[in-house]
Amino acid sequence: MRAYHIRIAVDTKSLPFVPGSVFAKLPAESPKTTARPNATYNPRGKDYRHGPIRIDWIDINMSDKSAQKAPEPGREPAMAAFVPTETGSTNIPFGIVHLFREGAMQSPQDLKKAVIADAPDRDGIMLGVLAVPAWMTPADFLAFVSPASDGITHLRIIRDTIPNRSMVVIKFSDPTRASEFIEAYNGNPFNSLEPETCHVVRVLSVTMEADDPALALFASTQSLYELPTCPVCLERMDAAVTGLITVPCSHTFHCMCLSKWGDSRCPVCRYSQNLMSSHPSSSSSSSRPIPFSNPSAPIRSTCSSCASTTNLWICLICGNIGCGRYGRAHAQAHYQTTTHLYALELETQRVWDYAGDGYVHRLIQNKADGKLVELPNASSSMSTGTTSQRDAEGGLGPGPADALSAEKVEAIGIEYSYLLTSQLDSQRAYYEEQVNDLNVQLADLNLKLERMRNEFEKEHVLSNEAMAERKREEEERAASLSKDKVKAESRAEKLIELARRLEKELSAERAVSEGLIKNLNKAKERADLAEKSKQESAAKVQDLEDQLRDVMFFLDAKTKIEDGGGVEAEAAGGSLEIIEAPQSNAKKKKKKAK
């Protein structure tokens, strides 16, 4: 069985963060539709597959699953077991899902070698189911694979802009269960009412990457090639899964899809061998059978953008059909986007040049007079000349006019072929010139990128050195600051201890001062009492001195009177009066005056 690789190219403008794998932890969001608006007209020329992508994921907790024990047979009835799972949906605004297939068949030995030599995803435990119907939800798919759900650990349903092209990626716990799943489900129908069958393939890697033009070179670098899509059903074409058929114009389709195509022309380039347009008067018996044609089906072309059936123009370069400028001008829009100059009007078979803004269909030379006349319309030639000539000859087979008309049409066809070849050559030269210019620009950009990379590396080295120097200085400064911090903390502790000691001493001094103040107040009170008692004692002493003086004076006077004579004798029998002593204030004033 061939191995496959799945790459999801994500537009980084719509989704800045791109997970490395779909089996990583994805955010749970409300599911959105993957239908792309305005899918028929692509003005920017992007890949038609570019559009919204939704990943429906289911993670099964295998630890709780293995912890459950199965009941013994015949002992207990069957009981339902609850298996915890995590489900959700992740919306990717814009991206493309690429499916690559390896060129050689992968045997189990090759897979084992790939496990040893390559990525960790190459372990044989991942399988993919391609082209899952759109009506199947994650619950429906789990119900479909419920007999093999014991070995499933992760399940991812990848949906893109095409509803019938969903893929399911299953991750098993071991390779044995994956092999059993392939044997049990590969080729089985999803249900008995629908024709879709389950196509199981081995998947070696599933990655999510940013949308990069270098992804187109992935197949050439790793011997892989991307599976193309069928233009009819838009599903991937894989010869190992279904039959393919290639038409004469080298376009490939599914056999079933091309068998349902009722037109005689190629669905892609409108290549046709319809003899009614090249030989309008020839009988059907002389024409060759047209491959893949249905004679009963009407040949009717429509505009590829608006499905209009009138005033249609077909591009002579790529075969795109669009309506004219009197409709919605989709043919002119195709010219503006692709610069394909020439378009053929289907009704009149005339060619229009968009650059010269005029008709450039070939003129034919009249055999009668040699003048250049315009080639008549195919419809008018069918309806006038050939009919009258056939009526004149009895209506039996083609006449000379029919042969002349066929010759003219063949000549103009050759001229158209030459014109188309020259235009294709000019287009090829133009595209080669554009490719060369792009290669030159790419080389210049690579040189600029290399120069910018070198400058960036130099700046990076310089910035790293400056950062290392700054880091070293910051570390030294931090070390010195830490030392200063330690010193400051020790100094602060000493100051705190000193403040505490001084506070204690201050408290003691305050207590001593309060005691001294109390003692001083008591001493003052005692001094006041002593002074008062001293004053009282002094007053008493003064009084006693006065009394003593009076007594001494009395005794002296008595003695003198008794002993004396004369005048002193006259004082005998007299009375004595004691003069009061002067006040102490008067003595103090006298002392001050002295």
When pLDDT is cut at 50, 70 and 90, the band that residue 359 belongs to is confident
Q: What is the separation, in whole angstroms, between the first and last Cα of the chain?
A: 148
For residue 30, what pLDDT is reported? Answer: 81
Q: What is the number of residues in the chain?
A: 594
Sheet bearing 312-315, strands edge to edge: 321-323, 312-315, 342-345, 351-353, 358-359
Same domain, 201 and 277: no
321 forms beta bridges with 314
SS3 153: strand
pLDDT averaged over every residue in the chain? 74
> For the chain, how many structural domains are there in total?
2
Residue 415 in domain: no
Same domain, 181 and 248: no
Q: What is the pTM of this model?
A: 0.42
Token couple for 261 = 């195509």
**Cα(277)–Cα(300) distance, integer angstroms:** 13
Angle between helices 400-563 and 385-392 (to 10 degrees): 160
Same domain, 195 and 237: no
> Is residue 496 over pLDDT 90?
yes
Residue 43 in domain: yes
Residue 189 in domain: yes
Residue 329 in domain: no
Domain that holds residue 279: 230-299
Same domain, 162 and 282: no
Same domain, 192 and 259: no
Token couple for 587 = 């003595």
Q: What kind and span of H or E run contains 558?
A: helix 400-563
When pLDDT is cut at 50, 70 and 90, the band that residue 549 belongs to is confident
Residue 53 in domain: yes
The enclosing domain of 138 has a CATH number of 3.30.70.330
The residue ranking higher by pLDDT, 242 or 102, is 102
Asked which of 299, 323, 341 is the last residue of a domain, the reply is 299
The answer to whether the beta carbons of residues 108 and 179 sit under 8 Å apart is no
> Is residue 136 over pLDDT 70?
yes
pLDDT, tens digit, 9 for 90 and up, residues 63-81: 555 545 444 445 555 555 5
Asked which of 227, 252, 279 is the last residue of a domain, the reply is 227
For residue 401, what pLDDT is reported? Answer: 67
Same domain, 88 and 187: yes
The answer to whether the beta carbons of residues 99 and 3 sit under 8 Å apart is no
Same domain, 169 and 58: yes
**Cα(73)–Cα(86) distance, integer angstroms:** 31
pLDDT, tens digit, 9 for 90 and up, residues 430-473: 888 888 999 999 999 999 999 999 999 999 999 999 999 999 99
Phi-psi map region of 507: left, alpha, beta (phi>0 left; psi -120 to 50 alpha)? alpha
For residue 288, what pLDDT is reported? Answer: 40
Q: How many helices (H) and strands (E) does the chain have?
A: 13, 17
For residue 500, what pLDDT is reported? Answer: 93
Token couple for 439 = 């290669």
Same domain, 132 and 43: yes
Residue 489 in domain: no
Same domain, 138 and 44: yes
Residue 358 in domain: no
Asked which of 180, 198, 227 is the last residue of a domain, the reply is 227
Long-range contacts of 109-113 (CB under 8 A, 24+ apart): 111/3, 111/202
pLDDT, tens digit, 9 for 90 and up, residues 258-312: 777 666 667 776 555 443 343 333 333 333 444 444 444 445 688 988 888 888 9
For residue 309, what pLDDT is reported? Answer: 85
CA 528 vs. chain centroid, Å, equals 101
Q: What kind and span of H or E run contains 64?
A: helix 62-67
Token couple for 283 = 């009988």
For residue 149, what pLDDT is reported? Answer: 83
For residue 275, what pLDDT is reported? Answer: 36
Residue 190 in domain: yes
Same domain, 270 and 148: no
**Tokens 């009076």 correspond to what residue?**
550
> Is residue 221 over pLDDT 50?
no
pLDDT, tens digit, 9 for 90 and up, residues 528-537: 999 999 999 9
Same domain, 110 and 251: no
SS3 305: coil
The enclosing domain of 288 has a CATH number of 3.30.40
CA angle 144-150-153, nearest 5°? 90
Same domain, 148 and 26: yes
